[in-house]
Copies of this chain bind each other. A is one copy, B any other.
Amino acid sequence: MTADSKKEKIAEIRAEVLKRVRPTAEEKTKLESVRKGIIDDIVRIADAQGQCDILPLSVGSAERNTWLHGNHDIDVFISYPEDIPEDEFFQRSRMILTEMAKTGDTWEDRHSEHPYIHIQKEGFEVDLVPCFRVKSGAEIKSAVDRTPFHCAFIKENINGLENDVLILKQFMKGIGVYGSEVRTGGFSGYLTEILTIYYGGFEGVLEHASNWKYGVVIDLADHQSLEHDNPLVVVDPTDPKRNVAAALSLTKFALFIDRARAFLKNPNLEYFTPKEYLPMTADGFERTMAARGTELIGISFQTPDKAEDTLYPQLFRMEKSLEELLARNEFTVVNTFSWSEDDKESIVFVELLNTVLPPLQKRVGPPVWNENNAESFCKKYKNNPATFSFAIENERYVAEVPRKYKTAEYLIEDMIFKEAALGRHIRDSMKNGYNVLREKEIAEIQNEEFWKFMNEKLTAQISP
């Protein structure tokens, strides 16, 4: 493909993608009207309560005109003067939120450290978040106080690149790197917008990303004040200490580089549609596992009643910890992954080359000249009638001893609470019971979403 025909092709793709992702005039009108209603409600309620110093602030992609068709999120912040005491902030914001909850079709208290509610209203998902009206993003009193600055920064600097943001977001969705929640570990909306501004548009982002390496630093405001050890460092233009890309995982960073490069080589509309996996059938699963010849072990337990962003770090840590436990005992892990469903079960999977080992285990001890450790190693294994042999190899004592964990399942059952790093909520749930599943038990799971997930995990192919 010549450079010119590529340009043409990309222009066509841009037009087609925009057609799909730009909100319709009708959508916009609807959103405007709902948003206006919410802001009016807040002002009315605050006035009635004598809270005349609050300010409702529309933030989020809707405000910035960078929202995708079909996305029905509205974020409205309620800002308080920064010098009011925390007690007062909590008490007064609760008063408003209590009344606002009544204006929704449904509502949900979502506060963790910070008060906030979520309401559904006329088909929109609305977050209502009290915050402090601080002087700058660097002087925040709570994490949410930054958001209004982000919103203002983008509005001031977007300069007609709204469509490029939409296209880039959809590209990221299509290749599976959009979303900064822990489970995804991808790009946040704000990060996508900053990249678009910094590189002057969708194509600019892809061209530069093609040449990214670990540790690339982007500092629009040229005010970085902290080093970060992350694949991508995008210094927050509203806070010199913060890396906007801190939540981006290495895998998603690398995947974006690969996909950017591939798209520019051969532009194609396919990149903009997330891949759909059909549910695997029981037969298909059996055939797949027979072809792989590997051994799958799943550890299932009741999903802790926690937000995904609390649960997923614990699931990921458990995967890593199981892999290390197994490797220390000479079982070779090829893959780990986690399935989790709210109110139902979570399953942490490990896929192994082998689940059975011979009775002999070779233990490599300390060097001869490390006298204290040598003594305790010798005490344990020398002249021990159970050992197969006791010798010196290179500088170290080595003992061939009877292996304690001859199967991966026994190792897991015996050591999971002792040697695996389990997060608090997973540990609590597992204490109430857990199951170790093998292929047969896994095959019995009845859940279409689960089998789509398994299909993706066992057959994923980067393409095009």
Contacts and interface: CB of A to CB of B under 8 A. Distances in A.
A344 interface: no
A292 B460 contact: no
Contacts of A462: 382, 390-392
Contacts of A389: 458-461
B362 A334 contact: yes
A360 B212 CA distance: 32
Interface string A248-266: 0011011101100100000
Contact of A395 (B254, B334, B390, B400): B254
A211 B374 CA distance: 13
Given A213-B369, A293-B360, A394-B251, A463 B383 contact: yes
B391 A460 contact: yes
A357 B368 contact: no
Contacts of A211: 369
When all copies of this chain in the complex are counted, the total is 2
Given A251-B393, A335-B362, A388-B458, 9 more contacts: A231-B395, A254-B369, A292-B388, A293-B358, A330-B332, A382-B462, A383-B461, A388-B459, A389-B458
A220 interface: no
Contacts of A367: 214, 254
A396 interface: yes
A314 interface: no
A371 B214 CA distance: 13
A354 interface: yes
Measured as residues with beta carbon below 8 angstroms from the partner, the interface class of chain A is 35 or more
Contact of A392 (B251, B357, B383): B251
B291 A359 contact: yes
A166 to B, nearest CB: 25
A221 interface: no
A435 interface: no
Interface in A157-174: none
Contacts of A358: 292-295, 353-354
A230 interface: no
Contacts of A357: 353-354
A460 B212 contact: no
A214 B395 contact: yes
Given A330-B332, A353-B357, A369-B212, A250 B292 contact: no
Contact of A359 (B255, B293, B391): B293
A252 B293 CA distance: 43
Interface string A328-341: 00101011000000
